[in-house]
Amino acid sequence: MSIGIGDSHDAQALGWTDHEEACWNTVSDNCIPARITSRYVSSWRVMVPDGFRETAVKAAGAFHYLCAGPDDYPVVGDWVALSPDGGMIQRRIPRRTTITRQESGRAARAQILAANVDTVFLVFGLDGGRNFSIGLLERFLTVVAAGGVEPVVVLNKADCTSTEHIESVKSQVRSVRADIVIRITSVPDGRGLEELRNLIPVGTTTCCLGRSGVGKSSITNSLLRKQHIRTAEVSRIRHRGRHTTTNSQLLMLPGGGLLIDTPGLRELQLWGEEDSLHESFSDILELAAECRFRDCRHQGEPGCAVQQALAEGILPHQRLEHYLEQRDELAEAELRHRMSAAAYEKQRWKKISRR
């Protein structure tokens, strides 16, 4: 009997789980497992368990043939099978979890931001302005729920505000989800960083999500104990503009644990099943169970428990508005996705019939 890859401590440290082990037997012998650390236009950087070496690789011709659409190509966090010489991607191992958002711009396509993530740090800035909003938190929670990933709310820049303000933001977070894990951090004085570090045990992968400028790269650098990624401050000195992280990057922390830094998500559009709203709007969905009609849209139907809670002041008006907004956004994205899939099929058919 051959020894499984999962028996290697290095593979486990790089995030290899029973899931990958079970998938690996479909890959041809002598292939080398590797994890994607960053993605470029037509190449990838990968880390191999053996010594955690990082190299650049391309996709083998046969791999292109296996890919039917953009989502089939590897993203940060994916496990792939490299050719025995280590230079080419031959297969992508099916994903255990994903973080997906709708692509910005008009394309009606989902974009997978990262794969095989266990925990997401939803990072907000306590420095006022738009760096914290309930609406954004609700959106993030919806995205995270759709991917099967555990969220942790990180309220950064604690040094910029008062204890009273921190408490008020905390209670706003709890009003969305009472049991969510919240961590308060500050990069200049190191507050809360050790606690964050402890949330990333060896072999697990955490992804930082948040608006640009909230401190994702600064937190990542502190946990790495070195300046690996340029932060806004450094780049401003070099006159490079504010948007410094242009690519997601998977990094191994000293002592183990994997962290993915992502560029700021300026417009996090939703993508996922309507079901994923359950996570952020469980109160509304509980009420909805009491509505007279099973398919009640809560927009004026008789016997609507949601409207009643609204009238009684139990349910804040804004919260229902957010819910309806997100529900419609999801439904529309779903529709556009179906339409574009149909258009794609049509085009493909044209191509085939022209032959």
Ligand X SMILES: Nc1nc2c(ncn2[C@@H]2O[C@H](COP(=O)(O)OP(=O)(O)O)[C@@H](O)[C@H]2O)c(=O)[nH]1
Residue 245 in the binding site for Mg ion (CB under 5 A): yes
Residue span 292-331 as binding mask against Zn ion, x where in contact by CB under 5 A, dash where not: ----x-x-----x-x-------------------------
Q: Which does 291 bind (CB under 5 to 8 A by kind): Zn ion, Mg ion, ligand X, none?
A: Zn ion
**CA nearest neighbour of 332 among 267, 268, 272:** 272
Cβ distance 303 to 311 under 8 Å?
A: no
Question: How far, CA to CA in Å, does 162 sit from each of 55, 127, 157, 167, 169?
Answer: 46, 10, 11, 9, 11
Residue number with CB closer to Zn ion (112 or 305): 305
Nearer to Zn ion, 69 or 302 (CB): 302
Residue-wise burial string across 246-259, b where 16 or more C-beta atoms lie within 10 A, e elsewhere: eebbbbbbeeebbb
- Rounded CA-CA distance 146/151 in Å is 12
Over the Cα atoms of the chain, what is R_g?
22
Nearer to ligand X, 131 or 307 (CB): 131
* Closer by beta carbon to Mg ion, 55 or else 235: 235
Q: 21 near 6, Cβ under 8 Å?
A: yes
Nearer to Mg ion, 167 or 233 (CB): 233
CB atoms within 10 A of CB 299: 10
Position 268 contacts Zn ion (CB under 5 A): no
Residues 6+ apart with CB under 8 A from 244: 217, 229, 230, 231, 232, 234, 235
The answer to whether 37 contacts Mg ion (rule: CB under 5 A) is no
The listed partner (Zn ion, Mg ion, ligand X, none) that binds 296, CB under 5 to 8 Å by sort, is: Zn ion
Task: Tell me which stretch binds Mg ion (CB under 5 A): 104-112, 240-248, 279-287, 334-342.
Answer: 240-248
Q: Tell me which residues in 177-216 interact with Mg ion (CB under 5 A).
A: 216
Place of tokens 């962290």: 259
| Closer residue to ligand X (CB): 33 or 210 | 210
What is the spatial distance between Cα 162 and Cα 37, in angstroms, rounded to a whole number? 38
The partner in contact with residue 232, picked from Mg ion, Zn ion, ligand X, none with C-beta cut-offs of 5 to 8 angstroms by kind, is ligand X
Minimum Å gap between C-beta 196 and ligand X is 12
Based on the shown chain and the rule CB under 5 A, indicate whether residue 217 belongs to the binding site for Mg ion: yes
Stretch that binds Mg ion, among 37-45, 99-107, 126-134, 245-253 (CB under 5 A): 245-253
- Range 48-67, binding Mg ion (CB under 5 A): none
Q: Nearest distance from residue 44's CB to ligand X, in Å? A: 22
Token pair of 106, please? 């008009």
> Does the footprint of Mg ion cover residue 156 (CB under 5 A)?
no
* Residue with smaller CB distance to Mg ion, 119 or 217: 217
In the complex, the residues that contact ligand X under the rule CB under 6 A are 156-157, 159-160, 186-188, 210, 212-218, 231-233, 244-245, 264
Interacting partner of 298 out of Mg ion, ligand X, Zn ion, none (Cβ under 5 to 8 A depending on kind) = Zn ion
User: Own/partner pairs for 195-200, CB < 8 Å, 24+ apart?
Assistant: 196/121, 196/154, 196/223, 197/223, 197/253, 197/257, 199/119, 199/121, 199/152, 200/119, 200/253, 200/257, 200/258, 200/259
In the complex with Zn ion, which residue's Cβ is closer, 144 or 284?
A: 284
Task: Provide the minimum distance between the beta carbon of 219 and Mg ion in the complex, in angstroms, as a whole number.
Answer: 9
For 184, residues 6+ apart whose C-beta sits below 8 A from its C-beta are 155, 158, 166, 170, 191, 192
For Zn ion, the binding residues (CB under 5 A) are 291, 296, 298, 304, 306
